[in-house]
Amino acid sequence: MAAAWQDVVRDAAAVREAAAVAVDAALLAGVLMRTGEQPNASDVVNYAPFTLLPSAVPRALFEQAYAVQQDFNLLVDAVSQNREFLEQTLASTIKVDDFTARLFRIYKQVLEEGLAQTVFLGINRSDYMFDCGLEGTAALRQIEINTIAASFGGLTSRTADVHRLVLNVLGKSEEASQLLPNNPAKGLALGIAKAWELYGSQRAVVMFLVEDVQRNIFDQRCIENELWNRRIRVVRKRFRDVFEQGSLDASRRLYMDGQEVAVVYYREGYVPQVYDEQNWEARLLLERSRAVKCPDIATQLAGTKKVQQELSRQGTLEKLLPGHPEAIARIRATFAGLYSLDEGEEGDRMAATAIADPDRFVLKPQREGGGNNLYGEELREVLEKIKDSPERTSYILMDKIRPQPALNYLLRAHSPLQVSECISELGIFGVYVRQGRELVLNRAAGHLLRTKAIEHADGGVAAGVAVLDTPFLV
């Protein structure tokens, strides 16, 4: 990929000046995070980490990622409604992975009772890296699709303005004018508002289900404030609050201390650590309710890494999306090599291949949130240990994507200004609303570019590894 800012990236004086302007611009624009010391107070806040310079992204791949997003929305929605597929695909995983098993139990329980929910809202983010082929042409490769709590759509709605200013300061006004507008906050709020409207009760609120530790609150506020401006009331509650205040009426409408809830937007609930028995009970209450869950538990399961791996198997997409050959072709063109480690010949062969050549692969457990994958020597050691045990099936194996690094500066509060070799990950937000069987909204809602230094194999912005960025199309 073109090194876009070759002339300025080594100019120490220009970089120092631009960085000072950039940090203040981020604060002014609201690219903010609470501090680790005071994660639940807004008295003193920091800028969220971001790159000094926008990163070059090949225009064709950027457009490809946008063009396939509605297809991915359709696919996730189809998987979430296909009980047979989810049961078969996750059968081996739930034998060994307690967290997925527990989610699955709730899924089955609500199906057996009969769904009260009739309106469905999906907000997802499909993440990609640009794989550098031998001939030097980059290809779009999906890393994963996040179907629950996909974050940074709010803050990233404000980063393009910051980078535009930085480029102006660096004497690159022509390039500054080419940065694309981007407003996922608005697009996601539109989906939530549509779901709220179809739920059909003016009095009912949208409930953001939030973490105990709320460092990333400003990202969520961007979406909340869009809803308030549409005169939709928003409340922020934790699982614990649901356990204490939540109830269902005879038609399974959800109430929080007497206040009806139309939409539950989860920004929490995707890692096992948050669930004690009371929080599991709260989750079950929400899933049984008529409220629109974003996502419902079936859609959360549709986003598991095991499902991703099975989707790449020959013939699976054709079964899930009959009558959509073009969508299938667009989706498949983004897949990297994905391999099952289930018990049997195929799994044995892949385990042996990965042990022999660990640098070719990434080993992934059924977890979200960054920092869980295994690479290189560690991958080899773990696979050696579990290769003959059922535990192997709690992982999938994926080809490692190798993007072309570029120089940039990662601006973080209290960190020295230094140049790093960086790679980027592009996310496209998707939003859809379904009423009964009819899809009434299906769109791409904006993008997120995250960039990290190459020494980190894993991890996102919240994990403290990647930072916010803006694509500069080349």
Residues at the interface with ligand ADP (CB under 6 A): 127, 143-144, 336, 362, 364, 368-370, 372-373, 398-401, 425, 458-460
Quote the least distance from Cβ 370 to ligand ADP, whole Å: 4
Annotate 207-246 with three-state secondary structure. Answer: EEECCCCCCCHHHHHHHHHHHHHCCCCEEEECHHHHHHHE
Q: Closest by alpha carbon to 269, among 247, 237, 244?
A: 237
Residue with smaller CB distance to ligand ADP, 149 or 176 = 149
Residues annotated in the binding site for ATP, as ranges?
144, 305, 364-373, 375, 398-401, 425, 452, 458
- Based on CB atoms, which residue is closest to ligand ADP, 183 or 308? 308
Specify the residue for token string 């000046």.
Answer: 17
Radius of gyration of the chain (CA): 22
Q: Give CA–CA dist 110/108, Å, rounded.
A: 6
Cα distance from N-terminal residue to C-terminal residue, the chain: 8
Residue 205 or 336 having the CB closest to ligand ADP: 336
Residue 37: exposed, middle, or buried by beta-carbon count in 10 A (0-12, 13-18, 19+)?
Answer: exposed
The candidate with the shortest Cα–Cα distance to 424, out of 179, 6, 57, is 57
CA distance linking residue 423 with residue 396, whole number of Å: 23
426 CA to centre of own chain: 11
Coil vs helix vs strand at 213: coil
Q: Distance between CA 304 and CA 76 in Å, rounded? A: 11
Residues in binding site for Mg(2+): 144, 146, 368
User: Smallest gap, in angstroms, from Cβ of residue 61 to ligand ADP?
Assistant: 16
CA distance 100 to 307: 12
> Is the CB of 199 or the CB of 395 nearer to ligand ADP?
395
By beta-carbon proximity to ligand ADP, the closer residue of 184 and 246 is 184
The least CB distance from residue 200 to ligand ADP, in Å, is 35
- Alpha carbons 460 and 128: distance in angstroms, whole number: 13
By beta carbon distance, the residue nearest ligand ADP is 401
Q: How many CB atoms lie within 10 A of CB 236?
A: 15
Give the nearer residue to ligand ADP in terms of CB position, either 165 or 398: 398
Q: What is the b/e burial string over 349-387, where b = at least 16 CB atoms within 10 angstroms of the residue's CB?
A: ebbeebbeebeebbbbbbbbebebbbeeeebbebbeebb
Whether the CB-CB separation of 366 and 100 falls below 8 Å is answered with yes
Known binding positions for substrate: 125, 148-151, 214-216, 220, 267-270, 450, 461-462
Q: Which is nearer to ligand ADP, 30 or 460 (CB)?
A: 460
Q: How far is the CB of 47 from ligand ADP (least distance, A)?
A: 22
Distance CA 29, CA 25 (A): 6
- Binding site residue list: 125, 144, 146, 148-151, 214-216, 220, 267-270, 305, 364-373, 375, 398-401, 425, 450, 452, 458, 461-462
Q: Minimum distance from CB of 369 to ligand ADP (Å)?
A: 5
> What H or E segment, with its residue span, contains residue 377?
helix 376-386
Q: Nearest approach, Cβ of 129 to ligand ADP (angstroms)?
A: 6
Give the residue numbers marked as catalytic.
125, 144, 146, 151, 305, 364, 368-369, 450
Element (H or E) spanning 87, and its range?
Answer: helix 83-96
Q: Least distance in Å: CB of 18 to ligand ADP?
A: 26
